[in-house]
Structures are given as structure tokens and as C-alpha cells.
Amino acid sequence: MQALSLSPPLLTSPPRSLRSKSSNTFRAPRMDRHARISSQFPPLLHRDLALEVASLMESRLGSDLLPSSVPDNVRSFQNQSGTSFGSLDIRYGAPGSSVDFLLESWLHCKVPTGAIDITTLLVYQNDSTDAPHFNLEFIQAGPTSLVLLLDLIPRRDLSFCPDYIDTFYQDTNVDKPRQDLEKLPQAVPYRSPSLYIRSIWSPTAILVSINCGEGGATKMEEIIKGTVASAAKEVLGIWLERCFGTGTGTEMGEEEREYMIRRDRVVKSKSIEIDLSANLPRLFDPDVANRVIAEIQKACARLKSSMP
């Protein structure tokens, strides 16, 4: 496997409102990511949107992010037969940022029924705030079928913290894009087979499976460019405005903060165990899978070292 050349240092302009952005501002990182991902992966319906969201996110986070932390053979990997390949990038938050790390992963895997493509964009926050994490995941199995998992993942026990719901989910009107998506006749709710994964989402989580049926590729493209793109940008905008940055959280005592740290740790480690540790070794050779999982585990465990 040819190791890809690393990207030039990413734009580190000061954070600015998503709405006041000039598209030129983002050209450098966007073109870099575009070129890298497009050269490595086959064309995909959700590709352009995922690239756009990743670039918007990274540009807005700017100097809050340290450079990529992963080695070349994780930033680009494949199985022996070359039928499955992937890219994982992790960028830790800079000192003083509310970001713990940004994870971006692209997977293309041959499966008996064709191919499955999974794109994930995750921002975990650290304990300087209790504001939600950001999660965007596309799972595409063919040109007419897409699963979308889009949420501001809560960090408090919601049944116990009604104010938290008001602050991040009610007052932000983040349920609106969910309603729009679930109105699509092609969308049905998506349920994770894992009861644990079902339990981590917020009450406004967008968890839908969109199926356009045979010959529905054009319709799917229209839906992705329309309702799905609007939802992704809307939820990202809310996260950037209301969740990202120190001072965004609700008030917490020391005990509550410690509980949140322990809770975050369980959510991260269980999510990896259920999602990646169970699936990556089936899709890639064990040494590749282990190498990739190790990088994610390292990022998730990092908070531990700052604990007493």
C-alpha cells in the first residue's frame, strides 16, 4: 500500500461564525481532503456532503485542533486482497480547547452483497464543558440505501437533568431537522441491534434508514443533496454555536464533573467495543484492524491520564 503524503498544515484562522464564512477561507484544507479521499475511494453518493461537513468542521475548529496524531499506515490502510480500504484520522484538541479529539474515518469494504461504505465524523469534548459531543455517520450499501446517524450525543443522564435537555435540545430547536427527515416517505427509523448503542442517543437523534428502491439512485441523490445535507449542516451549526468551546456547558459541581468523566469513558469504550472491535477484524486483516483500533483506543483512553 502506497502511503499518502501528509497534508500541509491546516488552516488555523481564528474561529468565526459558520454563517459568516467565506467559501475561500476553507479552500486549502478542503482541497487537500478532497484530493486525498477522492484518490483513495470510489465515488459515493454521500461523499461530497461528508467532505463538505468535515471541512466546515475543521475550518471552524481551526486552532483548537492539533495536527493529525495517527501514523501513515492508519491514515490509509487496506486488506491484503485490496478489496477493502480505509482512512482514519484523529486530531486532538489543543490546550485550552473544549475539544478532546476529532475523529474522521472513511471505510470501503467489499461484502458478499456488494460493498459497504461507512463515513464517520465524531467530535468528543473534554471535561471543560458538559456540552454534547457531535456525531455524524453515513452507512451506505449501494446507491439507493443510506443509513444516517446524526446527533448531539448527551453527556448527562437526561432523565435526571431536564435543564440539560432544555439548553441543548429544546432551545436549539434541533428536533426540527429530525422531523423533516422522518417526513420523507423513503425514511424509516433505524434501530441499532445493540441496545447499548440505542441508549447513548439524545431524544432528537436522527437515526434513519433511507431506501429509494430499485432505480432510485437519482431520488437518493436528490434526498442527500436536499434534506440530508440541510440536516447535517443545521445540526453542525447548532453544535458549533451552542456546544463547541469552553463556557458552553451547564453548571456542574465537582461531583457531577467526575460522574460525567466516568460516564464519557464508558460511552467511548463501549461504543468502540460494540462498533469497531466487533466489526473491523471481519472487514480487514487482524493486524490492520488492531492497528486502527489501537489508535482510537489511545484517543479514548487519553482522558484517563488526566484523572487522579
Which residues, in sequence order, are CB contacts of 235 under 8 Å at separation 6+?
134, 136, 150, 151, 152, 174, 177, 206
Minimum Å gap between C-beta 201 and a second copy is: 9
Q: Which is nearer to a second copy, 39 or 196 (CB)?
A: 196
CB of 200 to a second copy, least distance (A): 5
Task: Specify the residue, 17 or 199, whose C-beta has the smaller distance to a second copy.
Answer: 199
Whose Cβ is closer to a second copy: residue 171's or residue 222's? 171
Contacts of 244 (CB under 8 A, 6+ apart): 60, 61, 64, 98, 99, 123, 125, 131
In the block, cell 439507493 appears at 144
Place of cell 477493502: 84
Q: Give the C-alpha separation, 103 to 135, whole Å.
A: 10
Can you tell me whether residue 221 is helix, strand or coil?
A: helix
**CB of 175 or CB of 275, closer to a second copy:** 175
The least distance separating a second copy from the CB of residue 133, rounded to whole angstroms, comes to: 12
The DSSP element (H or E) to which 163 belongs, if any, is helix 162-165
Taking the chain, what is the end-to-end CA distance rounded to the nearest angstrom? Answer: 42
Residue 301: CB atoms within 10 Å:
13
Rounded to a whole number of angstroms, the minimum distance from the CB of residue 163 to a second copy is 10
Q: Interface with a second copy by CB under 8 A: which residues?
A: 154, 157-160, 162, 165, 169-170, 175, 189, 195-196, 198-200, 202-204, 259, 262-263, 266-267, 270
Q: How far is the CB of 44 from a second copy (least distance, A)?
A: 28
154 or 249, CB closer to a second copy?
154
